[in-house]
Amino acid sequence: GAGVSQSPSNKVTEKGKDVELRCDPISGHTALYWYRQSLGQGLEFLIYFQGNSAPDKSGLPSDRFSAERTGGSVSTLTIQRTQQEDSAVYLCASSLVTGDHNEQFFGPGTRLTVL
Amino acid sequence: SQKIEQNSEALNIQEGKTATLTCNYTNYSPAYLQWYRQDPGRGPVFLLLIRENEKEKRKERLKVTFDTTLKQSLFHITASQPADSATYLCALVGTGTASKLTFGTGTRLQVTL
């Protein structure tokens, strides 16, 4: 595809359930990022994958959050035992990391609502 | 602590005027700074990048300045149009942080006829 895609676009779940959010980055982009954006807030960094390096997980808010990137392409963000405060838009971005230029291309996001 | 501040109040301007948005930061030594546009229900879209050794960068009706002494970037849209209405986010990469961006909360711009 031409851009970053995310699925599902909307997810409504009950408190305590697990959810999986998917991101398909732009083909050939070596870097992939997950962010969270709550209503009226800026983007909160969650996790960063770069090639085969160990991911930077410094933004994950709790051990209920985890992410994988298989084969250097598709990524899945998993939230276990969801809480109401997890409700937000989860955005994925990818970039072609060359030199110091890091333009990030964002997907449309997944809107997660925890009831 | 590190902080990136953008005016949380919406900026309302008349069509044809120049819009100026501000991004201030503290306790960062950014290698470069980026500006993104975000429309409702969509992910941010990259607009411009300016490096720490650059004072000004232009792209069509957009101009960005970067003052590392004041720790401030200004984002200008000249001859603004209603289609420019959106939220504008600044983002920083610190020196040696390997491409990890930190975003401000954004400023909403509303251009009216």
Nearest to B91 by CA among A3, A45, A6: A45
Contacting residues of B for A104, CB less than 8 Å apart = 44, 46, 101
Whole-number Å distance between alpha carbons of A68 and A76: 5
Give residue A72's domain range.
5-9+20-96
Q: Which of A39, A102, A110 to mutate to test the interface with B (most CBs of B within 10 A)?
A: A102
Match 């962010």 to its residue by tokens. Answer: A35
Contacting residues of A for B93, CB less than 8 Å apart = 100, 102
A73 CB neighbour count, 10 Å cutoff: 15
Mean predicted confidence (pLDDT) in A77-99: 92
Predicted pLDDT at A108 = 95
Tens-digit pLDDT profile for residues B64-94: 999 999 999 999 999 999 999 999 999 987 6
Answer yes or no: do B43 and A4 touch at CB < 8 A.
yes
Whole-number Å distance between alpha carbons of B74 and B67: 9
Provide the CATH number for the domain around residue A40. 2.60.40.10
Within a domain: A72: yes
Domain B19-94 has CATH 2.60.40.10: yes
Within a domain: A26: yes
Reported confidence tier of residue B95, pLDDT bands at 50, 70, 90: low
Contacting residues of B for A40, CB less than 8 Å apart = 105
Reported confidence tier of residue B28, pLDDT bands at 50, 70, 90: confident
Residue B8 has pLDDT above 90, yes or no: no
Nearest to A35 by CA among A115, A113, A109: A109
Which residue did the predictor score with more confidence, B112 or A42?
A: B112
What chain A residue is nearest to B4 in terms of C-alpha separation?
A42
Q: What sign for the dihedral angle of Cα A84, B42, A65, B95?
A: negative
Predicted pLDDT at A21 = 98
Residue B29 to chain A, least CA–CA distance (Å): 15
Residue B52 has pLDDT above 90, yes or no: no
Mean predicted confidence (pLDDT) in B83-106: 83
